[in-house]
Amino acid sequence: MTVIAIDFETANASRASPCAIGLAFIEGGAVTRRAYHLIRPRELRFDAGNIRVHGIRPDDVRDAPEFPDVFETFASDLDGALLVAHNASFDVAVLAQTLALYGLARPAHASICTVQLSRRFWPDSPDHKLSTMARRFGVRFRHHHAGEDALACAAIALEGVRAAEVDDVADLARSTGLRRSHAPQVASPVGKAGGIAERALLARGRSELPPAGRFVVRGSTGTPYDVDLVTGREGRPSLRCSCPAGRFQTLCRHVKGLMKGDRRNVISGDEAQLKQVVALFAAVAVS
């Protein structure tokens, strides 16, 4: 099994806005290969808070490759791999949501979180931050640099192997019960081929549906909510919002705004895709 420590840095509140990725491949009890890439997010919008954390600015990634080009460099390694990450739920979500944004297939893989691992084996630690655990094991690294964070994460996992007295990180994940499985997702546009939505677009001279994606919107009290573009019954597209009204299948104001192309409450979301969404729902309305 391929074991990869992975770390993402994001440009803004959207999980689908990676601006850097670090990879550290673990084999035979050691890191044998490393990779680091700057990434140009689809929407070149950086939040000040994110910049303060990692120091990456729009000009740093303006000429960098977008995620699909970077993904090509490790996609074959990911199939069936075990991903190791510190606060793995974040990095796994960035991977999944960015693949969905670009309509790319997600290979089946597993993950283990070194935060949970640290809590299990070193409960006496004052906290279980990456910097704290790295310092405990004498790992010197540049925090919030994706490549350096991935290396530090790999070092913590290898310390876990020694603490658990198992053969490797894969055995560690199984023996601790901290292994999480992630099913594959097939690449597909929103709407089934030949479905109502696609026929409506074709009738208006459009041959492509917008790729599956997510918008992050601001609620009335400032709370961010996710609005996903999904396929409903009979291939009909729909927008599903995570706000309280949306969870009860109500057509909330966030969804209504996006369908009209209103960006006033949009925190993160691709401008070109928003235009496609407006065109898509206009087409379905007259079909």
Q: What is the pTM of this model?
A: 0.68
- Per-residue pLDDT reduced to its tens digit, 236-259: 677 888 887 776 666 788 888 888
If pLDDT is split at 50, 70 and 90, which confidence band does 285 have? Answer: low
Round to whole Å and give the CA distance between 75 and 255. 33
Which tens digits make up the pLDDT trace of 157-202? Answer: 999 999 999 999 999 999 999 999 999 987 755 433 334 444 443 3
Average confidence (pLDDT) over 227-241:
71
Q: What would the pLDDT profile of 85-94 be if each residue is shown by its tens digit? A: 999 999 999 9
Residue-level pLDDT at 193: 38
Helix axes 271-285, 196-203, angle to 10 degrees: 100
The answer on pLDDT for 203 being more than 70 is no
- pLDDT band (50, 70, 90) for residue 283: low
What pLDDT, on a 0 to 100 scale, did the predictor assign at position 235? 60
The pLDDT assigned to 107 comes to: 92
CATH 3.30.420.10 assigned to 3-182: yes
Confidence of residue 266 (pLDDT cuts 50, 70, 90): confident
Q: How confident is the model at residue 279 (pLDDT cuts 50, 70, 90)?
A: confident
C-alpha of 264 from chain center: 24
For 13-73, the DSSP string reads: S-TT-EEEEEEEEEETTEEEEEEEEE---SS----HHHHHHH---HHHHTTSPPHHHHHTT
Paired sense of beta strands 18-27 and 30-38, if any? antiparallel
Q: In the numeric block, which tokens belong to residue 101? A: 């944004």
Question: What was the pLDDT predicted at 190?
Answer: 41
Residue 111 has pLDDT above 60, yes or no: yes
Mean pLDDT in residue range 53-72: 96
Query: Which one is predicted more confidently, 230 or 135?
Result: 135
- Average per-residue pLDDT for the chain: 85
More confident residue, 262 or 151: 151
Mean pLDDT value of segment 28-47: 94
Q: What is the mean pLDDT of residues 137-158?
A: 96
User: Model confidence at 270, in pLDDT bands (50, 70, 90)?
Assistant: low
Domain(s) labelled CATH 3.30.420.10 in the chain stretch across: 3-182
For the segment 96-109, the average pLDDT, to the nearest whole number, is 92
Q: Walk across the sheet containing 266-268 and list its strands.
A: 237-241, 224-231, 214-218, 266-268
Is the separation of the CB atoms in 96 and 163 below 8 Å? no
Closest CA to 188 of 230, 132, 150, 136: 230
- pLDDT above 70: residue 16: yes
